[in-house]
Structure 1
Amino acid sequence: MTKKKRFKADQVEDPGLDISSLIDVSFLLLIYFLVTSTLEPRESDLSMEMPTDSGKASSIQIDPLKIRLTAEGQITIADQVMADDGQMESELDRYKQLTDATNKKPLVIVSSDDDAKQQRFIDLMNALAKVGITTITLSGFEKGN
């Protein structure tokens, strides 16, 4: 007779699932979405300027400054002949301060004679740049006028 061997299987506890890798993946996804998302700014963070009634200076109209350069090298600002470069710079500075006070952009119209010396024109452009006037219009150059 054969002897039957009976092996008794060990009792196995309930099978478990190792979720540590799942937790790692979920944290990686969370970090990914946090980094790639854009936050919308709050309304209080937006810079907003409301119109005010206190700005009476903004209703003032300032005409463009007309500068004329003659063939002899004379510079005329607003129909007034400038004696030297110092007077020209002070006149330009006064106009710049006036436009700054009224929150307007200074506008200068320069007309020059074709026979005027280039250096004199460059002196005029340097004086405009020195006082901070950058909006300059060159009108049609006049011939002998």
Structure 2
Amino acid sequence: MARRRKKPHNYLADQEGFDLTPMIDIVFLLLIYFMVTTALIKEEADMGIKLPANVPPDPDAKLPQEQVVEILASGEVLLNGAQMDHYESRNMPELTKTLQRLKAANDRGGLKTSVTIIADQDSLHKRSIDVLNACGSAKIKFVMFASQ
């Protein structure tokens, strides 16, 4: 008996053609997805900031008079190296009066008064608040903190 050899079955030959409809649907869905997501990305807005140019400083510019207040770990307060008020004094009348005199002198000269507070890392925060209150009583608006 002769054996018949089976031909491999070609499934594509049975069909009239390859159905591309699901692939086209997926391509359109991906196209819509990418179109929608790219519309959500906002462009950076121009903030209109003008950067400083290389301009020489104004010769008549008046620089602020800086006063340095140091707060030591023991609670002592030094104004430009001179000790002010007792370390237990909370209202600091001597510092307030001295800052008022310095501000009045600078105001007469047309200068701005600024205070730089340098507090020791071991000092109590309440001493910094006491110095800020003294600056507020002296009506000094330019106060900054510096580190050692």
Q: Smaller-chain TM-score range?
A: 0.5 to 0.7
CA displacement, residues 92-123 of structure 1 (integer Å, 9 cap, x when unaligned)? 11111111111111111110001111111101
Give the aligned partner of residue 80 of structure 2.
78
- The residue aligned with 1:115 is 122
**Would you say 1:105 and 2:112 are equivalent positions?**
yes
Q: How many percent of aligned residue pairs carry the same amino acid? A: 20
TM-score under structure 2 length normalisation: 0.52
Q: Deviations over 1:16-65 (max 9, x none)?
A: xxxxxxxxxxxxxxxxxxxxxxxxxxxxxxxxxxxxxxxxxx89876411
Paired with 1:136 and 1:113, the residues of 2 have a C-alpha distance of: 17
Tell me the SS of whatever aligns to 2:73: coil
Which structure 2 segments of 5+ residues have no match? 1-59, 87-91
Shift of 1:81: 0.3
Query: Among residues 62, 66, 69, which one is paired with 2:68 in the alignment?
Result: 66
> 3-state DSSP class of the match of 2:113?
coil
Decide whether the 8 Å contact of 1:60 with 1:102 is kept in 2. Answer: no
Give RMSD over aligned pairs.
Answer: 2.0
Q: What SS is found at the alignment partner of 1:107?
A: strand
Give 4+ residue runs of structure 1 displaced > 2 Å after superposition: 58-63
Q: Which of the residues 77, 82, 92 maps onto 2:99?
A: 92
**Aligned match of 1:9:** none
Aligned residues, how many? 84
Distance 1:61 1:128 in 2: 19
Larger strand fraction of residues: 2
Amino acid at match of 1:130: S
Query: Secondary structure of 1:103's partner?
Result: coil
